[in-house]
Chain A
Amino acid sequence: MGVGFAEFYLATRDAAFRAALAAGARRALAEDAVAEAYARACARWDVVAAHPDPFAWVMRTAFNCQRSWWRRTRLELLGAPVPEQADSAPEAAETRLRELVSNLPRRQRDVVALRIIADLSAERTAEILGISAATVHVHLHRALTSLRKQAEPLEVRG
Chain B
Amino acid sequence: MNQIEDQLRDAYGHERFTRTVTEIEARARKSRRRRRTSVSLALAGGITVATILIYLVVPLPQASPPPTGPVQPRPPISRLEDCRRGMALEALVKLRNQSPIEVVAGEDVAYIFFDDDSAAGCLVGKGNSGMSITAPAAIAANGPLRQTIPDYVVVGTPDHDLVVARIPYGMGRLEYFTEAGVHELDTPSVAAYGLIPAARWDFNGVKASEQSSGVFTAKAIRNLSEPATTPGAQLAACQATQQLMPVPGTELTLVDRREVTEETSVLLLAGGDELLAVCRVHHGATINQATFIVGNHAIFLSPLEVGVPGTQTGQAVVLMRRFPEDAGSARVVLGNGQTVPLVFTNGFATAWFTQPGGAQADHLEVDLKSGGHTDYPK
A21 within 8 A of B: yes
Distance in angstroms from A82 CB to nearest chain B CB is 18
B136 within 8 A of A: yes
Q: Which residues of B contact A116 (CB under 8 A)?
A: 5, 8-9
Which stretch from B18-26, B228-236, B312-320 is at the chain A interface? Answer: B18-26
Q: In whole angstroms, what is the CA distance A81 to B24 when docked? A: 27
Q: Which residues of A contact B21 (CB under 8 A)?
A: 5-6, 9-10
Q: Which residues of B contact A13 (CB under 8 A)?
A: 17, 19
B15's contact among A17, A35, A138, by CB below 8 Å, is which? A17
A144's contact among B5, B15, B16, by CB below 8 Å, is which? B5
B32 within 8 A of A: yes
A97's contact among B7, B16, B24, by CB below 8 Å, is which? B7
Distance in angstroms from A30 CB to nearest chain B CB is 9
The count of residues in chain B whose C-beta lies closer than 8 Å to any C-beta of chain A is 37
Question: Which among B18, B27, B116, B170 has the greatest number of chain A C-beta atoms within 10 A?
Answer: B27
Contact status of A21 and B15, CB under 8 A, knowing A71-B116, A135-B214: yes
Q: In whole angstroms, what is the CA distance A132 to B14 when docked? A: 31
A147's contact among B4, B117, B170, B175, by CB below 8 Å, is which? B4
Q: Which residues of A contact B55 (CB under 8 A)?
A: none
Q: Which residues of B contact A130 (CB under 8 A)?
A: 166, 168, 175
B10 within 8 A of A: yes
Q: In whole angstroms, what is the CA distance A67 to B139 when docked? A: 13
Distance in angstroms from A132 CB to nearest chain B CB is 6
B213's contact among A31, A93, A94, A137, by CB below 8 Å, is which? A137
B24's contact among A14, A38, A131, by CB below 8 Å, is which? A38
B contact residues vs A (CB 8 Å cutoff): 3-5, 7-19, 21, 23-25, 27-29, 31-32, 116-118, 136, 138, 166, 168, 170-171, 175, 213-214
> What are some 24 contacts across the A-B interface (CB < 8 A)?
A14-B16, A17-B16, A18-B15, A21-B12, A21-B15, A31-B17, A35-B19, A36-B27, A39-B24, A40-B28, A42-B27, A68-B117, A71-B138, A90-B14, A93-B7, A98-B12, A101-B11, A116-B9, A131-B171, A132-B214, A134-B214, A137-B213, A147-B8, A148-B4
